[in-house]
Amino acid sequence: DAGITQSPRHKVTETGTPVTLRCHQTENHRYMYWYRQDPGHGLRLIHYSYGVKDTDKGEVSDGYSVSRSKTEDFLLTLESATSSQTSVYFCAISGLAGHNEQFFGPGTRLTVL
Amino acid sequence: AQSVTQPDIHITVSEGASLELRCNYSYGATPYLFWYVQSPGQGLQLLLKYFSGDTLVQGIKGFEAEFKRSQSSFNLRKPSVHWSDAAEYFCAVGAHRQAGTALIFGKGTTLSVSS
């Protein structure tokens, strides 16, 4: 299995509070991604990174920000959590641009009350 | 716009029977196609992938998929289903971005296996 960990694995928070999710990889892969998974929607891309300090938006980026200060860590921040951000969040990594497959972390289940 | 459609939300198959999960995609260029499996409470595991060449690709756990350009399809098959195959299956297409490639997923098909 690819060396990807996510923390925390579960979190319950209240509306309006900031939340940061962490993705850590030991594979030294260049590309990292954040997806959210919701019933009936599959997985949707939030943000992705193509190198240290290089990030771009995905299809559902509103309300989220990311940072990548070193190769191994990719942080997802909800500045002010809302109930609509209750979801399961997955981090993925990829070694190459183009067609290379992505490897997924175990996910973080976030509940916003 | 790129998209992936999995027409079947839920399928039930008897153990030992054959399986086919459907996937249709919309993509302007030659697609990179993937099938992932997700067991309850787990992350996603890659079953197989298609980039080019032979249109019938083999994957792990006895799965295979066939790319049919004329039908814009990439259906997943298995000749004999085991109870442990019960899971959710996602088809995805690799979509090129300005930098890197993101995956566009279908909404998934839940497979139940009956004894």
pLDDT tens-digit readout, A70-112? 999 999 999 999 999 999 999 999 876 555 688 999 999 999 9
With a cut of 50, list the residues of chain B below it in pLDDT: none
Cβ pair B101:A54 closer than 8 A? no
What does DSSP say about strands B109-114 and B87-96: parallel, antiparallel, or unpaired? antiparallel
- Looking at residue B15, its pLDDT comes to 96
- Give dist(CA A22, CA A70) in Å, integer: 12
Cβ pair A43:B105 closer than 8 A? yes
Q: Which residues, in sequence order, are CB contacts of B53 under 8 Å at separation 6+?
A: none
Cβ pair A99:B107 closer than 8 A? no
Cβ pair A107:B43 closer than 8 A? yes
- Looking at residue A85, its pLDDT comes to 97
A63 touching chain B per CB within 8 A: no
Angle at Cα B40 formed by Cα B36 and Cα B41, nearest 5°?
A: 100
Please give the structure tokens belonging to residue A83.
């109930």
Cβ pair A40:B42 closer than 8 A? no
Q: Which residues, in sequence order, are CB contacts of B106 under 8 Å at separation 6+?
A: A42, B4, B5, B6, B23, B90, B91, B92
Closest chain B residue to the Cα of A109, Cα to Cα = B41
A53 touching chain B per CB within 8 A: no
Interface test with A, best of B67, B97, B103 (most A CBs within 10 A): B103
- Looking at residue A34, its pLDDT comes to 96
The amino acid sitting at A15 is: T
Instruction: Specify whether the CB–CB gap between A98 and B96 falls below 8 A.
Output: yes
Nearest beta carbon to residue A101 from set B43, B46, B104: B46
Minimum distance, in Å, between the CA of residue A62 and any CA atom of chain B = 17
Instruction: Specify whether the CB–CB gap between B48 and B34 falls below 8 A.
Output: yes
pLDDT tens-digit readout, A10-44? 999 999 999 999 999 998 888 999 999 998 888 99
Instruction: Specify whether the CB–CB gap between A66 and A74 falls below 8 A.
Output: yes
Interface test with B, best of A32, A43, A59 (most B CBs within 10 A): A43
- Give dist(CA B101, CA A48) in Å, integer: 9
- If interface means Cβ-Cβ distance under 8 Å, which residues of chain B face chain A? 4, 32, 34, 36, 42-46, 49, 51, 90, 92, 94, 96-108
Cβ pair B43:A102 closer than 8 A? no
A102 touching chain B per CB within 8 A: yes
Angle at Cα A13 formed by Cα A42 and Cα B89, nearest 5°?
A: 15
